[in-house]
Amino acid sequence: MSNENRINPIFAIIIIPIAGFVLLNLSFLIAAGTRFCLNLLLRQGEGPGFSILPMIGHLSTFVVLLVLSYLALINKRIPQVFKAAFATVPTAVLLVYTGIFLYNWPAAVYAVSGLIVAVILLYLYRTKKPWFYYYSVLLVTAALLYMGIMGIDI
């Protein structure tokens, strides 16, 4: 086990939610910027052809955030605990977009989200990631589950 994995647990327990919250807010800004740019580029007029703009916006935002997350997570200069905090972004993006696309079928939202979380946890287990990655994923999952149960929309 490397020294990097032996960080102070209190530090990880505190820094992951704080850094994750900041990163998720930055993600919302990136999403807004992506949508704004798409609207400038694609909204040359109105009509039936433009009803697909929301879907294009969602998909492009999804791709941009996942690519940025991937680049951060493979960066070898970022300490593992901060990568774990950054793991909140792709987890939240996947779960939120699952909720958006399956909004009319709540049972499907929970089933697909549960499958996504199970696959993420299996990946973390198979790649032998430190405990704070699990903490990060479960923290986001618990927060979004609470929001779903309480009927809180983003």
pLDDT digits (tens, 9 = 90+) for 54-90: 777 788 888 888 888 889 888 999 899 999 998 999 8
Tell me the HSE value of 142 on the side-chain side, using a 13 A CA sphere. Answer: 7
- For 79: left if phi > 0, alpha if psi spans -120 to 50, otherwise beta; the answer is beta
Confidence of residue 136 (pLDDT cuts 50, 70, 90): very high
**Span 8-60, pLDDT tens digits:** 889 889 999 999 999 989 988 988 888 888 777 776 556 555 566 677 778 88
Tally of domains within the chain: 1
User: CA 53, CA 20: separation in Å to the nearest integer?
Assistant: 29
List pLDDT tens digits, range 140-149: 999 999 998 8
Query: Quick one: pLDDT at residue 50?
Result: 58
Half-sphere exposure of 31 (CA within 13 A, CB side): 20
What pLDDT score was predicted for residue 39?
Answer: 77
pLDDT reported for residue 119: 95
Q: Which domain holds residue 88?
A: 3-150
How far apart (Å, rounded) are the C-alpha atoms in residues 92 and 89? 5
**For residues 154 and 96, is the Cβ–Cβ distance under 8 A?**
yes
